[in-house]
Amino acid sequence: MYIKKFLVILMFTFCFSVNSLESAPPESSPKKWPCDQVYNPKLDLKAVWSGPQIDDFKKNWWKDDEVIEMVNKLSDPILSEDEGTRIIEDFAKKHSYFGLIKKKERNTKLINIFVGLFEKASQKRNKQYEGIIKFVERQDVIRKTIGDASKELRKYRKAGLDVKDPKFTEAEAKMKWNTRVFDQRTRLTEYVCEEPVFLEQRIGYQARKILTYLQ
């Protein structure tokens, strides 16, 4: 649990600030896609939802303050599946009266919650994919910086420049620093790529739990 929370925080702060990314990722896979997962920036509604059509609910879900509060709670990236399931269960119980469930009112709210969750997850997934692309682009910049520093060092060695010369030490320090940063970021690639997977898993279990009350 603590490891998962640490990784989420680490990825958010170290890799990219997704909230600053407004453009949508390209529909086709970029040439350099670092993830094992198939490039798919859009969440597939049919893959997670087998309930009623949600088109009509898209217009109104955000008008219910209680629904908004639930969507915000369940969208917390460090929320565990057990915690999320319990939140949904408690909400469903809250809309019961002496054991007789007000199905229409409850079901409407639950569908609205799913719609809100799905819309937020879709936006988040777009930002995650855009962030991964930016991550790769930054790696390319660092790789080029390392290459340029390496060329400088070879040139200085060939010219017989003293290793204590400021030009030599500066190029050497630049190469070492950027190599370290590049290696650290490379080790994070797996976790960066897992973020969309975790997101899809979360909306998946939330949808399944909500559907149990709609059947």
Residue span of the structural domain in which 61 resides: 55-214
**Residue 152 falls within a domain, yes or no?**
yes
Structure confidence by residue, pLDDT tens digits, 71-83: 999 999 999 999 9
Structure confidence by residue, pLDDT tens digits, 139-163: 999 999 999 999 999 999 999 989 8
Structure confidence by residue, pLDDT tens digits, 118-129: 999 999 999 999
Query: Using CB atoms within 10 A of its CB, is residue 112 exposed (0-12), middle (13-18) or buried (19+)?
Result: buried
**25 or 164, which is more confident?**
164
**Residue 2 falls within a domain, yes or no?**
no
**Residue 188 falls within a domain, yes or no?**
yes
**Residue 160 falls within a domain, yes or no?**
yes
Most confident of 24-28, 95-99, 105-109: 105-109
Closest CA to 133 of 7, 15, 8: 15
Count: domains in the chain: 1
DSSP 102: -
CA atoms within 13 A on the CB side of 71: 21
**Residue 149 falls within a domain, yes or no?**
yes
Chain mean pLDDT for the chain: 88
**Residue 10 falls within a domain, yes or no?**
no
**Residue 116 falls within a domain, yes or no?**
yes
**Residue 16 falls within a domain, yes or no?**
no
